[in-house]
Chain A
Amino acid sequence: MSDTSTGIPEPEGDAGLIETDYEIGQDNIEAQIGPFGLDIHNPVFAVSAGVIVLFVVVALIFPQQAADFFGWLRPALTSTFDWVFLLAGNIFVIFTVALIFTPYGSIRLGGKEATPDYSYIGWFAMLFAAGMGIGLMFFGVLEPVYHMAISQPLGTPSPFDADGVLIPENVEAARQMGLAATIYHWGLHPWAIYAVLALALALFSYNKGLPLSVRSAFYPILGERVWGWWGHIIDILAVFATLFGLTTSLGIGAQQANAGLEHVFGIPNNLTVQVILIIGITSIALVSVVRGLDGGVKVLSEINMAIAALLLIFVFLVGPTATIVSDFGKGLVAYIVDLPALSNPFGREDTGYMQGWTSFYWAWWISWSPFVGMFIARVSRGRTVREFIICVLLIPSLVCVMWMAVFGGTAIDQVLTSPETSAVKANVIDSYSPELSLFAMLEGLPLAGLTSFIGVVLVIVFFVTSSDSGSLVIDTITAGGKVDAPVPQRVFWASFEGLVAIVLLLGGGLTALQAMVISTGLPFTLVLLAMCWAIFQGLRSEPR
């Protein structure tokens, strides 16, 4: 009579439900605006949307003051609180890795009898595309070359002297450090940050029966108060972080896609084209969110991962294949060997790398964690904690190592073997045009026109997958954890993201937005640390 007779946990007992008087949606307002129905959380929806509009208006009315303030705020945060970010990052890695080896690893998200909702491939494609797909496009070439030659992590000398002449004896160490220092930013640490948030949400939603909202993870700490203003503040912060993170990325992504289009087709690189790109990206994202998780987001993520894999294989085969294989091994070993030194929060002298890159990245990953973590949680039901952590932490880290070895390794090879003619050297070391670094590397390989075009397509589609999954997440949070709120609401958020990105791109507020992303990272670091304790409490009370 029903297709739910197997694989679904019993409503009580086995899954360790939390008993609370709170009913999901009890604070929601259901209304009809014209032909469209609404089902929104009061006050999370109104406060989030209102403050975001206020922020955009202030940034546009006082552009200079905003630029000055946020220009100061971002480095001030990443340099003053660098040790907080690094220390917290280490705690997240140790906590999640430790869970793999404890008996808690066998607890299943969704109850003992739950079966996974998605196949490994669909699941992995979605979490990877949402998690960092676009970053790999932007930083895959830039970062390894930059760390090898400029930022000098752990004091590793550059392979070039001040006049740009190669110093052969520095080459090997710098090359390995370039890869290791990049892998550090894209490996275990960011994925541990995502895993903490995702695990907390999945556990408290699927096993404890609380709404799929960030506040739910704080039930062991705040008790029933989590449904009041404490919880509102946590959820509003999560909405800010997600929307600011997405709009910043939309702005940066439009710039990179425009640079690529100029590089490939000679299309002018200006604000008009970038605004058209944002409208285009947002329109595709709208179609995707209306089609839903399975019909839109999942399909696009899988297409994306397939194209990315093809590009990876192409560069691997036509690039310096033997060197790439060697870089993969050496980069991984160097990462493991240098990990304690790279992740040391105290007494560092390589502040350019540690504060300018690591600290910034950690704040960035943390501010993105509500979005990516919630999305991962939503598609992770039915996995055991051990399976979840291995798949969210270790496999994406390995894929990142592979990506950096192929793209970064090829770029480094081009820089070192022909420094005079390398377009990568010209765009990363001699001058700094980060948005061109990927296309500069592809220029040194056969079929550059075709691969650069594919690169532009990938940049765009990666943004679509971030935009659509981000809209689903914001919609769920602002609907009080309901996943079946009326579709026009998610359309509103996806359009709102595009609109904020356009307004700020035109008004010059992207720097302010980046600073806001980092600013939300700091309080969220404390939120995530508290979540580790909440997860531990939650797992302890699960039947095993």
Chain B
Amino acid sequence: MYHKIMVPVDLAHADKLAQALDTAANLSSLYKVPVTYVGVTASTPGPMAHNPAEYEQKLLAFAKEQAERHGIETHGKTVVSHDPAAELDDALVKAVHETKSDLVVMATHIPNVADHVWPSNGGRLATHTDASVFLVRPS
């Protein structure tokens, strides 16, 4: 049914992603398709890494850990953005195209008034790519 699953991850807040990560892993096992974890980082030093190469190493380690935990095939993809706060959506849209993913599983927040001003990341992905988007609300 699906061929590739993409999961956007914020390594700095990986603890809040458990529900989405488990859902993606279950779908991966069900359809026997690989999961690509996508992280967006700036080229400037950040809390997670001094530079994108270091960030990528951490993301790959994260992907490997998920593979071992769930027994699935995983990959990691780092997208470097000049301005991750404002250009996150564009970076994720680009990643969907580049990874040729047809299902995106991502954590989401409780909708609030800000969503009227800033459309949610998931909504943007659904309108700007052909992939199905599965939004997972933390329990």
Contacts and interface: CB of A to CB of B under 8 A. Distances in A.
Interface in B66-92: 75-80, 82-87, 90
B45 A2 contact: no
A326 to B, nearest CB: 43
A289 interface: yes
B15 interface: no
B10 to A, nearest CB: 9
Nearest to B50: A209
Contacts of A25: 12, 46-47
B113 A15 contact: no
Contact of A24 (B47, B84, B86): B47
Q: Chain B's interface: helix, strand, loop or mixed, by majority?
A: mixed
A209 B43 contact: no
A43 B2 CA distance: 49
A292 B46 CA distance: 18
A35 B118 CA distance: 11
B18 interface: no
A159 interface: no
Contact of B84 (A34, A35, A481, A484): A484
A1 B90 contact: no
B83 A212 contact: no
B52 A294 contact: no
Interface in A1-59: 1-4, 8-11, 15, 17, 23-26, 34-36
Interface in A90-123: 110-111, 117
A295 B50 contact: no
A485 B55 CA distance: 17
Contacts, number: 115
Contacts of B53: 4, 8-11
A212 B75 contact: no
A117 B43 CA distance: 9
Interface residues of B, number: 35
Q: Chain A's interface: helix, strand, loop or mixed, by majority?
A: loop
Contacts of B43: 8, 110, 117, 206, 381
B78 A206 contact: no
Contact of A482 (B47, B75, B114): B47
B113 to A, nearest CB: 5
Given A483-B44, A483-B46, A2 B83 contact: no
Contacts of B56: 2, 4, 8
Most buried by A among B79, B82, B84, B90: B82
Interface of A: 1-4, 8-11, 15, 17, 23-26, 34-36, 110-111, 117, 205-206, 209-212, 289-296, 378-379, 381, 472, 481-488, 490
12 contacts: A4-B56, A11-B49, A34-B113, A209-B45, A212-B45, A292-B87, A378-B44, A381-B44, A472-B83, A481-B45, A485-B85, A487-B85
4 closest A-B pairs (Cβ-Cβ)? A292-B86, A209-B50, A11-B54, A35-B114
